[in-house]
Copies of this chain bind each other. A is one copy, B any other.
Amino acid sequence: MPAWGRGTRVRGTRQAGALAAVLGSLTGFNSAQQIHAELRRRGERVGLTTVYRHLQVLSEDGQLDTIRDAGGETLYRRCRSEAHHHHLICRQCGTSVEVEGRVVEQWAEKVAAEAGFTVMDHTVELSGLCSRCGGS
């Protein structure tokens, strides 16, 4: 059973490949629309619908990190690490750093336990200005 395994039969299509290539070369977080634009820029002919579909599947599979920008738009990026992690993003230039947050996880568990909750998920996003943009 391959990593992307089980019933989810996935065919190797031109579009899936092109998308994977783009995701592999982009560094920061990008919206579906931006990714679609990049695809066109490269001369690839892929429908916006298809881009959305793939991004959705990939993120469900845990192959993409997703966050929401201030406007509620969903941004995607290929995961660098397998392990659970959070993000630190520069508001100015979009640079992002993955940070592991064992501390946060532990805190979350403790807080949940105290409130009688069973934590199943948590979101932690940090944003600010990176050293380059923060010269104020």
Using a CB–CB cutoff of 8 Å, the interface residues on chain A facing chain B are 68, 72, 74, 88, 90-91, 97, 99, 101, 103-104, 107-108, 111-112, 115-131, 134, 136
How many copies of this chain sit in the oligomeric assembly?
A: 2
Expressed in whole angstroms, the minimum distance between the Cβ of A135 and any Cβ of chain B is 10
The residue from B121, B129, B134 contacting A127, defined by CB atoms under 8 A apart: B121
A69 → chain B, closest Cβ, in Å? 11
A88 neighbours in B (Cβ, 8 Å): 111-112, 115, 117, 119
Q: Tell me which residues across on chain B come within 8 A of A108, comparing CB atoms.
A: 126
With CB as the reference atom, state the residue of chain B lying closest to A120.
B128
Q: Give every chain B residue within 8 A of A129 (Cβ-Cβ).
A: 117-118, 120
Say yes or no: A126 contacts B112, CB within 8 Å. yes
